[in-house]
Structures are given as C-alpha cells and as structure tokens.
Amino acid sequence: MPSSRGSETLRYSASAARPAALACLLAAALAQAQTDELVAPYVPTVEEDVELMLEVGGVGPDDYVIDLGSGDGRIVIAAARRGALAHGVELDPELVELARANARESGAADRVAFVHGDIFDADIGRATVVTLYLFPEANLMLRPKLLAELRAGTRVVSNSFHMGEWKPDVHDMSARSSGGILLWIVPPRIEGEWLLEIDGGERLSLAVRQQFQEIELEIAGSGSVVARDTATLKANRLRFGAELNDARHVFDGQVEDDAMYGYVQIERQGGRTVVGWRATRR
Ligand SMILES: C[S@@+](CC[C@H](N)C(=O)[O-])C[C@H]1O[C@@H](n2cnc3c(N)ncnc32)[C@H](O)[C@@H]1O
C-alpha cells in the first residue's frame, strides 16, 4: 500500500526513547539523525490516562481497538482487559517484543496482537476505536488515512494532540497529560445533492456542504435555508430543522451508505404530526 505521508514528513529517531514528558523530547528528537520512519519517539501514556483514553473512547467487549504506535503495548493490553479485541502497530522491533512479553505476563495474550510495521501502511478498516499518542504533525499526516479507511462511527482517541481543523467531539481535560484526551467520531460522507422525500407528498432538493462533522444544509425549491446551528451530524445520526410551507419541520434520522431516512416532526398552528422521510443521492 502506498504511504499516505507528505513530502514534509518529520521523522524522529527510535533511540530518543523513555524520558518522562513528550514535550521535552521534541527538540532532542528533531536533533536526531533523521534516518528512520518514526514520526514520534517512544513515551508511554501514563496508566491513569490509558484508562481515561479507553473511557472517553467508550471501549467495551464489542470493540476492536488499534493503537497506532503501540510502544510497550499498554493501551492494547488495557483494552483487552475491558473485553475488547485489540492490536498494536509499532515500528521499533524491540518494543514489539516488549509488548508481546507484557501481553503474555498480563494473561491477555489471546485477545491481542502486535504487528511490526509502519502506521501509515497499517490495515485499520476493522477498527471500531483507534488510539494515538503521536505528535500533532503525525496526527495531521494520518488524518486522510483515518477519514478514508475507517468506517463512519469509528472513534479516534488521541492523547494530548489535535487533528488540525477536524475539531474533536470531546476534549477531556481531566487527564494527567496537560493536553488532555481528545475524541473524534468519524463522520459519514454526506456532501452533495440529495432528493428528499417526505411521506405524504413533498419532494425537495437537499444540498449538503460538509467539513468533517460540520454540515450546512439547504433545501432548494422551497426558498427555505436551514440554519447552520440546527444541523448536526454525530456518527450516523443526522438532525436538522427547516421552515417549509409555513410549518416548522424537525428532521431526525440516520445515514446508511447512500441513503438517509428517519422521522420528521411537523408543527403547524393547531397541531403536530410525525411522518417518515428519506433521501437518496441525485
Ligand atoms: C509516544 S509513543 C506512544 C506509545 C503508546 N501508544 C502509548 O501511548 O503508551 C509513540 C510510539 O509510536 C511509535 N512510532 C512512531 N512512528 C511510527 C511509525 N511510523 N510506525 C509505527 N510506529 C511508530 C514509536 O516507536 C513509539 O513507540
């Protein structure tokens, strides 16, 4: 698989390992000879924050967790203790061996695996949760891969570092790490033109503009523009409001591949009705 890194990749040496604080490593890491593919040095997440990351990510027995840059395996092993299946991807072969030994000691070895490889080449499509403790530059380099290869609804949890213009859905600052724990939910792609049909007759054109989980909707033909703050997309759940034919409409529904459907509450003077709606791509 081709690497998704840009030409301005920052690379750090694996030998810059094990000081206490990631931030203090930046200058030293940059000064290292740039001879390998590491995009962040090895600094383990403190145990309290491992649990907080899994808590924020809602990790449970139904999950498949992938830690990209898995170090000594602690996040993967902690996820397995919550009943999840999990694997780590790590470029440093000594850390892969250490993680495998830690897994054997923990008794969780049958629920985990550690792959020696590059995070940018990793097969991540089966994940329901991806965890990261890299650098901001590395998160940004990974972002296109995460958005292209993860299913809508997959949770991405990062220790400390952001994802540029893709704003987190949750930023928990109760972590020991000063940057906090950040969570993103991969949105479905709904940008484009849709045919919106409301049970009982209305057929309208729905135009969607999208940047990550932020959406702006416009219903053509009716003269109604849906206000930005009434449209939300969280995982596969879509909600928006509109004034149509002098009645307030509140749509609530879900996105499934190239279809969206749900219920709409219609409020007119003298009453409220609830009917179904669906939208298909034009
Ligand atoms: C800050 S440590 C985090 C370790 C672990 N995830 C944790 O939170 O305890 C980052 C890890 O990413 C690994 N890493 C850096 N670049 C990588 C790459 N391109 N492919 C795979 N692993 C990489 C490093 O070797 C290091 O173990």
Q: How many domains does the chain have?
A: 2
Claim to verify: residue 122 and residue 237 sit in the same structural domain: no
Is the residue at 40 inside a domain?
A: yes
Place of tokens 């600052």: 173
Q: How far is the CA of 250 from the centre of ligand 1 (A)?
A: 45
Binding site membership of 12 for ligand 1 (Cβ less than 6 Å): no
Q: How far is the CA of 45 from the centre of ligand 1 (A)?
A: 11
Claim to verify: residue 46 and residue 95 sit in the same structural domain: yes
- Which residue, by CA, sits nearest to atom 6 of ligand 1? 70
Q: Report DSSP state, residue 83.
A: T
Claim to verify: residue 54 and residue 128 sit in the same structural domain: yes
Is the residue at 10 inside a domain?
A: no
Claim to verify: residue 212 and residue 266 sit in the same structural domain: yes
* Residue 138 DSSP SS3: helix
* Residue 84 DSSP SS3: coil
In DSSP notation, 178-230 reads TT-EEEEEPPP---EEEEEEETTS-EEEEEEEEETTEEEEEEESS--B--GGG
Bridge partners for 259 per DSSP: 256, 280
Claim to verify: residue 116 and residue 62 sit in the same structural domain: yes
Residues 146-166 have pLDDT tens digits of 999 999 999 999 999 999 999
Claim to verify: residue 88 and residue 166 sit in the same structural domain: yes
Which atom of ligand 1 is closest in space to residue 74's alpha carbon?
9
- Domain finish residue from 159, 185, 211: 185
Binding site membership of 67 for ligand 1 (Cβ less than 6 Å): yes
Binding site membership of 49 for ligand 1 (Cβ less than 6 Å): no
pLDDT at position 218: 87
Residues 208-258 have pLDDT tens digits of 999 999 999 988 765 566 666 679 999 999 999 988 878 889 999 999 989
Claim to verify: residue 179 and residue 204 sit in the same structural domain: no
Binding site membership of 217 for ligand 1 (Cβ less than 6 Å): no
Please give the Cα distance from 236 to 259 (Å, whole number).
Answer: 11
How sure is the predictor about 104, in pLDDT bands with cuts at 50, 70 and 90? very high
Claim to verify: residue 43 and residue 180 sit in the same structural domain: yes
Claim to verify: residue 181 and residue 268 sit in the same structural domain: no
Are the CB atoms for 217 and 230 separated by under 8 Å?
no
For the chain, the farthest-separated pair of C-alpha atoms sits apart, in whole angstroms, at 74
Residues 161-199 have pLDDT tens digits of 999 999 999 999 999 999 999 999 999 999 999 999 999
Domain containing 116 equals 22-185
Q: Report DSSP state, residue 278.
A: E
